[in-house]
Structure 1
């Protein structure tokens, strides 16, 4: 199975992805740290490192799917082209695809989480500003794939249980 976590930065998507993956004994493939690693390797930021990170994670996910493993991908996935990559990958490997979108319905809490991430440097210097996160919100408008939408205002444990039920089809 290919599980694709989607949502704006700072919503709690990576936290839920990690706990979901632990429950499923599945690897998590996050896109943001791959992009930071590309920068650390000396690839200039004016290069399409975001796209390169998606391609790398897609290749790794394909390898794991070929081995029969369930994979959890962790990325914003606000662009249709990104979501199509995961649809195509699941079809190529003939595996079930589950999208899980994480939102934060409390804008003040969302902004605070984003600020807290920047304070501890979770993904290096790739941390976005509130304005850049808000600008990406429109990428989810009109998205009509079947997906589970989790609100990270709810307790993490509740969201993980909902996600488990969804991916298991129960």
Structure 2
């Protein structure tokens, strides 16, 4: 069976990283986090933030390599534009992989804000966006079907189980 690319996108502080990391642990898939890649680029080069597409391009290149060797991948990123979503899907299909796109949302604005204001990104030196930056961020509406997982309604284990069930249906 071809490998699977699971792309988890959504606004910052919705729970994407928590869900993606647990999904990768449970599935044994490789885990690519665009924030980690972007922060490494910023630390290692004179480039300033925002980087534009650099983190996404690197992550998609690594994902393509992994998928072509038969390794399934969980990729986690904001994925805010149709352009970025198309690029992830194209990466998977070009590597002969199956693709599952999921949008992680937090439908409770108070909980979303609480998470944004209190979270630790787990990336030393990385400063997460403020609530004002999150709410002002460009984030295009989706124009195609995707799995929507609401972390305001589902605990992490249940959110992962929903994604795992959708992944099984991709066979």
TM-score past 0.5 threshold: yes
Name the residue aligned to 1:58.
60
SS at match of 1:146: coil
Gaps of 5+ in 1: none
| Corresponding pairs, count | 165
TM-score, normalised by the number of residues in structure 1: 0.90
Gaps of 5+ in 2: none
Distance 1:41 1:84 in 2: 28
Name the residue aligned to 1:116.
118
Name the residue aligned to 1:82.
84
Higher helix share: 1
Name the residue aligned to 2:33.
30
Shift of 1:165: 0.2
1:14-51 superposed Cα distances (whole Å, 9 cap, x missing partner): 111111111211011000111111111133215x6241
SS at match of 1:4: strand
Distance 1:140 1:159 in 2: 23
TM-score, normalised by the number of residues in structure 2: 0.90
Distance 1:20 1:121 in 2: 17
> Are the equivalent residues in 2 in contact too, given 1:101–1:150 (CA < 8 A)?
yes
CA RMSD, aligned part only?
1.6
Shift of 1:90: 1.6
Q: Does 1:164 align with 2:168?
A: no
Name the residue aligned to 1:19.
22
Distance 1:33 1:50 in 2: 15
Distance 1:168 1:121 in 2: 30
Q: Does 1:147 align with 2:149?
A: no
